[in-house]
Structure 1
């Protein structure tokens, strides 16, 4: 009975918890595998920058139409594409590296987005845009997230081998195939798309957390890309369930609770994973004493 009251009842008795669970699980299904590829490409901070980059477009949608899903989503997509292309152009045609240009663009985007939201909205609206409201997901938002998940999984299935090849050796892929550059832009499109989907539930500041923390944790348990993606998905789903339950029982903000749950798994993986710190020290000690 206690197990039912604490673990099951919130999702059975309340419709908002059911929608929050469905939305967060769909986000895990789509964004966690993308996070694995983002991590393997050593582009984790790029994902964080892109999460901030969508803010001005979403803020313009909010300024014109209020908290309507479609305008904010379209605005976020446009802003994300513009920032990605702008940062890429700066790094290609100037002496500045891509990480520096991306950092500059995302800082400008973040400041501009906060300013635009502040022109019309209150501090509550700003918090909604920055941190999301997973407990307030409606059917329209769920349909959007489900569509993004379907597009992401289909794209990953079609370009799976090319994505893995580009992660491991992008120069080799470009030398033997013309898919290198198109696959790179397809992947950036998936990143932006999933960040826009995550923005609906977790806001611009936390949407990248569900993408990267489960992927980073899975890295300590698996070495192959396929198992890593599956494990990241499982960690993301478990973090969503744990975070929502923690939010419900302890009256905590749901988005941060989900990300902190994933953070706990990440810290545990650092210490206890087969590829983590403790196992590495044990192997090193055995090698020295052998």
Structure 2
């Protein structure tokens, strides 16, 4: 049991860094995923994950696989796409989901094109799918800063974020925080996707944000416990995914996301609000 569960994290420093980085990402992105899900903006998170690609690719084109240029480029691209999609939906007849889809498709194609101009297929795979086992000290520092900023922001604006999830019109009618909180939250989404990009790439970073949150939704209806449970599921998925990657020689990023996906599928069936319990409750109600 020790050799299977603990030894890989004790004997290899790359496994230790991968575990630390993925756990920090779970601590930061899973609560953001809960709010994203409750706002019915889950697909927006996926679109934003693709939106950071051209900025990160531009940083790669100019400076290679260096963390700071790719991070700054990803942040700029994410903000530009978010503001652009919002402006299109506000000043034209097109809805925000359609404009976001258009922007993210353009961003994805542009990012792949930019990476292909200089890099190889290996570089493209690195940008798209990440390399959690290759996290260095600079990447861990960046992820730690993002986690700290996210947790501090959530603590300060917790009540406003909860109120906007439940009734955004009411929040705007009684407080001036409605619109600022919305943009602060979008900033947290972009920030965490950029952090996740370092480990899981642009295509999978949203997975660690949304799958634990979606799984937690089947176990509780209260936002606080839902965030805590989502973090716990994220932790478990990271540990299980890294162990699966190590012992079965599988790509680490997809293994982590598939582990979270397995918990999600199990929650659909066995959760308090899952299929089995819902049907049992209905059966008891009919026979009562």
Find the aligned partners of 1:287 and 1:98 in 2 and give their Cα distance: 41
TM-fit CA distance, 1:19? 0.2
TM-fit CA distance, 1:276? 0.7
SS across alignment from 1:119: helix
TM-fit CA distance, 1:110? 0.2
User: Residue 108 of structure 2 aligns with which residue?
Assistant: 110
Find the aligned partners of 2:30 and 2:258 in 1 and give their Cα distance: 16
Find the aligned partners of 1:50 and 1:170 in 2 and give their Cα distance: 22
TM-fit CA distance, 1:284? 1.0
User: Residue 269 of structure 2 aligns with which residue?
Assistant: 271
Find the aligned partners of 1:89 and 1:278 in 2 and give their Cα distance: 44
Find the aligned partners of 1:276 and 1:146 in 2 and give their Cα distance: 34
User: Residue 24 of structure 1 aligns with which residue?
Assistant: 22
Find the aligned partners of 1:177 and 1:41 in 2 and give their Cα distance: 19
SS across alignment from 1:221: coil
For structure 2, list consecutive stretches of 5 or more residues without a partner in the other structure: none
Find the aligned partners of 1:92 and 1:286 in 2 and give their Cα distance: 49
1:189 aligned residue (187, 190, 196) = 187
SS across alignment from 1:42: coil
User: Residue 211 of structure 1 aligns with which residue?
Assistant: 209
TM-fit CA distance, 1:47? 0.1
TM-fit CA distance, 1:102? 0.3
- Asked if residue 49 in structure 1 is aligned to residue 50 in structure 2, the reply is no
Report the TM-score when normalising by structure 2: 1.00
- What per-residue deviation string (whole Å, max 9, x for no partner) do you get for residues 237-269 of structure 1? 000000000000000000000000000000000
- What per-residue deviation string (whole Å, max 9, x for no partner) do you get for residues 87-116 of structure 1? 000000111110000000000000000000
For structure 1, list consecutive stretches of 5 or more residues without a partner in the other structure: none
- What per-residue deviation string (whole Å, max 9, x for no partner) do you get for residues 165-210 of structure 1? 0000000000000000000000000000000000000000000000
Report the TM-score when normalising by structure 1: 0.99
- Asked if residue 161 in structure 1 is aligned to residue 159 in structure 2, the reply is yes
TM-fit CA distance, 1:287? 1.2
1:7 aligned residue (5, 8, 31) = 5
Find the aligned partners of 1:232 and 1:225 in 2 and give their Cα distance: 10
Moved over 4 A (4+): none
Find the aligned partners of 2:282 and 2:63 in 1 and give their Cα distance: 59
User: Residue 84 of structure 1 aligns with which residue?
Assistant: 82
1:120-199 maps to which residues of 2 (within 5 A)?
120-199=118-197
User: Residue 282 of structure 1 aligns with which residue?
Assistant: 280
Find the aligned partners of 1:160 and 1:181 in 2 and give their Cα distance: 15
Aligned CA RMSD, in angstroms, stands at: 0.3
Find the aligned partners of 1:237 and 1:217 in 2 and give their Cα distance: 13
Count of residue correspondences: 288
SS across alignment from 1:96: coil
1:39 aligned residue (33, 37, 62) = 37
User: Residue 72 of structure 2 aligns with which residue?
Assistant: 74
Find the aligned partners of 1:58 and 1:49 in 2 and give their Cα distance: 15
Find the aligned partners of 2:49 and 2:277 in 1 and give their Cα distance: 34
User: Residue 235 of structure 1 aligns with which residue?
Assistant: 233
Find the aligned partners of 1:278 and 1:192 in 2 and give their Cα distance: 36
